[in-house]
Amino acid sequence: MNSRCLLVVDADPDVHKLVTGILQREGRSIEDAYNSREALERLRTLHCDVVLAGQGRNGDDGLKLVRRVRAIQPDTRVIVTGESKPERVVDAIRQRAFGYVHTPLAEVPLIETVQQALECHQWQNDIRVTSARPEWVGLEVRCKIDAADRTTHFVRELHADIPTNIRDDFSSAFRELLMNAIEHGGKSDPNKRVRVSIVRTSKSIIVHMADPGPGFSMNLLPHAAINNPEDSPIAHVEVRLGEGRRPGGFGILMTRNLVDELIYNERGNAVVFVKYLS
């Protein structure tokens, strides 16, 4: 087993204890730094796979560390931690942080984000920011499954203030539609991208996705559960097996049950969905 190194940067010793307790595993070493100067000195002599960049001493901000870490160790993934503010999340994406986890740190998001960072390769330019206003975020996402997972996590962080049940439904729908766009529209071709706009109003979140594919007809999807006859609710499973597709096919049907409005364009290569906040 290859040893993996994580560097935790935070002014608070209790954060170091918490993170070590959550993330310590066999085959991992966890290093500590309490400000950016210590972190950068450590990185000049020690390779780290992941840097968890929080609030350091003397007003150090984890966001400011991202570019400086990249200059020393370009392949190191930086996960920024801090306040739950949409502008910070967008800034983290724009600066090519691997991820963002808001404080106080929760166990499951932290474990999932760090594990994804350790497993992900060639990730640096997978997500581009085309609009950075918190109320209108524009992204271009490379047609890769791990890029969809990272984007979904960022989107959850963007809307960490909304009720948990609404956020869960919204983010599940977002991931399903993004996966469809990547797999079916982009054919999982990393040279292609899905364009995403996320608009936040006082009463709703509106998402527009456009994939690079030729589109589809909703009536010509025998591999999708949405077109199963009433007397055969899993007919699409046999179709998928015959075509060698992965298990699934419930995406559109599930999404319709998770959001309040779902509209495809005529070609079938762009979709809008709306989730009301109350």
- Going by the DSSP 8-state scheme, the letter that residue 161 receives in this structure is T
- Indicate whether 167 and 254 sit together in one domain: yes
> Rounded to whole angstroms, how far apart are CA atoms 86 and 161?
9
Distances (CA, A) of 135 to 2, 83, 159, 184, 259: 42, 17, 10, 29, 19
Q: Which residue has the tokens 């993004």?
A: 178
- Indicate whether 161 and 89 sit together in one domain: no
- Indicate whether 199 and 107 sit together in one domain: no
- Indicate whether 59 and 103 sit together in one domain: yes
Domain boundary among 122, 155, 182: 122
Domain boundary among 93, 122, 151: 122
Q: Which residue has the tokens 């729908």?
A: 173
Task: Give the range of the structural domain holding residue 145, as residue numbers without chain letter.
Answer: 125-278
- Indicate whether 129 and 200 sit together in one domain: yes
CATH number where 67 lies: 3.40.50.2300
At residue 148, the 3 state secondary structure works out as helix
Considering its fold, how many domains does the chain have in total? Answer: 2
Q: What is the pLDDT along the chain (278 residues), one digit of tens a residue?
A: 468 999 999 999 999 999 999 999 999 999 999 999 999 999 999 999 999 999 987 778 999 999 999 999 999 999 999 999 999 999 999 999 999 999 999 999 999 999 999 999 889 899 999 999 999 999 999 999 999 999 999 999 999 999 999 999 999 999 999 998 998 899 999 999 999 999 999 999 999 999 999 886 555 454 554 554 555 555 545 555 565 555 544 567 788 889 999 999 988 899 999 999 98
Domain boundary among 71, 94, 122: 122
CATH number where 235 lies: 3.30.565.10
- Indicate whether 132 and 173 sit together in one domain: yes
- Indicate whether 142 and 84 sit together in one domain: no
- Indicate whether 82 and 175 sit together in one domain: no
- Indicate whether 178 and 61 sit together in one domain: no
